[in-house]
Protein backbone atom coordinates (compact mmCIF):
# COMPACT_ATOMS: atom_id res chain seq x y z
CA UNK A 1 0.00 0.00 0.00
CA UNK A 2 2.82 2.36 0.77
CA UNK A 3 4.35 2.02 -2.69
CA UNK A 4 1.27 1.65 -4.88
CA UNK A 5 -1.12 4.22 -3.40
CA UNK A 6 -0.73 7.92 -2.64
CA UNK A 7 -0.19 8.74 1.03
CA UNK A 8 -3.52 10.59 1.44
CA UNK A 9 -5.75 8.13 -0.40
CA UNK A 10 -8.70 6.76 1.65
CA UNK A 11 -7.14 3.29 1.99
CA UNK A 12 -3.88 4.61 3.44
CA UNK A 13 -5.69 7.08 5.70
CA UNK A 14 -7.82 4.23 7.07
CA UNK A 15 -4.71 2.11 7.70
CA UNK A 16 -2.92 5.02 9.36
CA UNK A 17 -5.87 5.72 11.67
CA UNK A 18 -4.97 2.55 13.62
CA UNK A 19 -1.35 3.53 14.25
CA UNK A 20 1.58 1.20 14.49
CA UNK A 21 1.34 -2.45 15.44
CA UNK A 22 2.99 -1.66 18.77
CA UNK A 23 0.16 0.73 19.60
CA UNK A 24 -2.58 -1.86 18.97
CA UNK A 25 -5.01 -2.71 21.72
CA UNK A 26 -3.38 -6.14 21.82
CA UNK A 27 -0.52 -4.71 23.84
CA UNK A 28 -1.01 -5.63 27.46
CA UNK A 29 -3.97 -7.91 26.76
CA UNK A 30 -4.11 -11.62 27.52
CA UNK A 31 -2.95 -12.50 24.01
CA UNK A 32 0.43 -10.91 24.70
CA UNK A 33 1.08 -13.49 27.43
CA UNK A 34 1.21 -16.10 24.65
CA UNK A 35 2.71 -13.98 21.85
CA UNK A 36 5.40 -11.33 21.62
CA UNK A 37 5.78 -8.65 18.99
CA UNK A 38 9.00 -9.10 17.01
CA UNK A 39 9.30 -6.27 14.51
CA UNK A 40 6.12 -6.51 12.47
CA UNK A 41 5.22 -10.10 13.29
CA UNK A 42 3.85 -12.00 16.24
CA UNK A 43 5.90 -14.87 17.62
CA UNK A 44 5.21 -17.29 20.44
CA UNK A 45 6.72 -16.60 23.83
CA UNK A 46 9.14 -19.21 25.18
CA UNK A 47 7.50 -22.62 25.71
CA UNK A 48 7.46 -22.36 29.52
CA UNK A 49 5.62 -19.02 29.29
CA UNK A 50 3.01 -20.49 26.92
CA UNK A 51 2.60 -23.50 29.22
CA UNK A 52 1.98 -21.17 32.16
CA UNK A 53 -0.57 -19.20 30.13
CA UNK A 54 -2.39 -22.45 29.36
CA UNK A 55 -2.27 -23.50 33.02
CA UNK A 56 -3.74 -20.11 33.95
CA UNK A 57 -6.67 -20.79 31.61
CA UNK A 58 -5.78 -18.19 28.99
CA UNK A 59 -5.89 -20.65 26.08
CA UNK A 60 -8.75 -22.74 24.76
CA UNK A 61 -8.23 -26.50 24.54
CA UNK A 62 -8.21 -26.41 20.73
CA UNK A 63 -5.57 -23.66 20.71
CA UNK A 64 -3.42 -25.58 23.21
CA UNK A 65 -3.68 -28.78 21.17
CA UNK A 66 -2.74 -26.90 18.00
CA UNK A 67 0.21 -25.26 19.76
CA UNK A 68 1.47 -28.66 20.96
CA UNK A 69 1.21 -30.13 17.43
CA UNK A 70 3.18 -27.21 16.04
CA UNK A 71 5.76 -27.45 18.80
CA UNK A 72 6.35 -31.17 18.10
CA UNK A 73 6.69 -30.44 14.38
CA UNK A 74 9.08 -27.54 15.03
CA UNK A 75 11.26 -29.51 17.47
CA UNK A 76 11.39 -32.58 15.23
CA UNK A 77 12.54 -30.51 12.26
CA UNK A 78 15.10 -28.38 14.09
CA UNK A 79 16.53 -31.12 16.27
CA UNK A 80 16.92 -33.44 13.28
CA UNK A 81 18.77 -30.67 11.45
CA UNK A 82 20.97 -30.08 14.50
CA UNK A 83 21.71 -33.80 14.83
CA UNK A 84 22.55 -34.19 11.13
CA UNK A 85 24.82 -31.13 11.14
CA UNK A 86 26.60 -32.08 14.39
CA UNK A 87 25.05 -29.20 16.29
CA UNK A 88 23.33 -28.90 19.65
CA UNK A 89 21.39 -26.32 21.65
CA UNK A 90 22.85 -24.77 24.79
CA UNK A 91 20.87 -25.46 27.95
CA UNK A 92 21.99 -22.13 29.42
CA UNK A 93 21.56 -19.61 26.59
CA UNK A 94 19.29 -21.53 24.13
CA UNK A 95 21.66 -20.80 21.23
CA UNK A 96 22.34 -23.39 18.55
CA UNK A 97 26.04 -24.16 18.22
CA UNK A 98 28.42 -26.52 16.38
CA UNK A 99 29.72 -29.17 18.78
CA UNK A 100 33.19 -29.07 17.22
CA UNK A 101 33.41 -25.29 17.67
CA UNK A 102 32.32 -25.14 21.30
CA UNK A 103 35.01 -23.13 23.11
CA UNK A 104 35.39 -21.10 26.27
CA UNK A 105 33.72 -17.70 26.06
CA UNK A 106 31.09 -18.72 23.51
CA UNK A 107 28.06 -19.03 25.84
CA UNK A 108 26.29 -15.72 26.32
CA UNK A 109 25.08 -16.52 29.84
CA UNK A 110 28.35 -17.22 31.66
CA UNK A 111 31.00 -16.70 28.97
CA UNK A 112 32.08 -20.32 29.30
CA UNK A 113 31.41 -23.26 27.01
CA UNK A 114 27.92 -24.19 25.86
CA UNK A 115 26.23 -27.02 27.77
CA UNK A 116 24.45 -29.50 25.52
CA UNK A 117 20.69 -29.71 25.98
CA UNK A 118 20.30 -32.87 23.88
CA UNK A 119 22.14 -36.18 23.67
CA UNK A 120 21.30 -37.52 20.21
CA UNK A 121 22.89 -40.89 21.02
CA UNK A 122 20.24 -41.47 23.69
CA UNK A 123 17.57 -42.39 21.08
CA UNK A 124 18.88 -42.45 17.49
CA UNK A 125 15.37 -42.98 16.10
CA UNK A 126 13.47 -40.15 17.80
CA UNK A 127 15.18 -36.81 18.52
CA UNK A 128 12.30 -35.77 20.80
CA UNK A 129 13.47 -38.34 23.38
CA UNK A 130 17.03 -36.97 23.50
CA UNK A 131 16.67 -34.11 25.97
CA UNK A 132 19.16 -34.40 28.81
115 inside domain:
yes
111 inside domain:
yes
- In contact, 35 and 45? CB cutoff 8 Å: yes
Cα–Cα distance, 120 to 123 (Å, whole number): 6
What is the tens place of the pLDDT at every residue in 103-120? 999 998 888 999 999 999
69 inside domain:
no
CB burial readout 93-118, b (16+ within 10 A) else e: eeeebeeeebeeebbeeeeeebbbbb
Instruction: Kindly state the helix (H) or strand (E) to which residue 88 belongs, with its residue range.
Output: strand 87-89
Q: Is the pTM of this model over 0.85?
A: no
Lowest pLDDT segment from 7-11, 58-62, 124-128: 7-11
Residue 28: predicted pLDDT? 56
63 inside domain:
no
50 inside domain:
no
- In contact, 90 and 98? CB cutoff 8 Å: no
23 inside domain:
no
Q: How much is the average pLDDT of 38-65?
A: 91
Q: Number of folded domains in the chain?
A: 1
Domain span at 122: 76-132
6 inside domain:
no
Cα–Cα distance, 132 to 6 (Å, whole number): 56
What is the tens place of the pLDDT at every residue in 71-101? 999 999 999 999 999 999 999 999 999 999 9
Amino acid sequence: MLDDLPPKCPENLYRKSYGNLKDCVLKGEKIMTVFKLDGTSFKFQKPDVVEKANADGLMEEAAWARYQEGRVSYLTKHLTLAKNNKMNICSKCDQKYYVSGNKEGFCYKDEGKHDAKYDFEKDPENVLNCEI
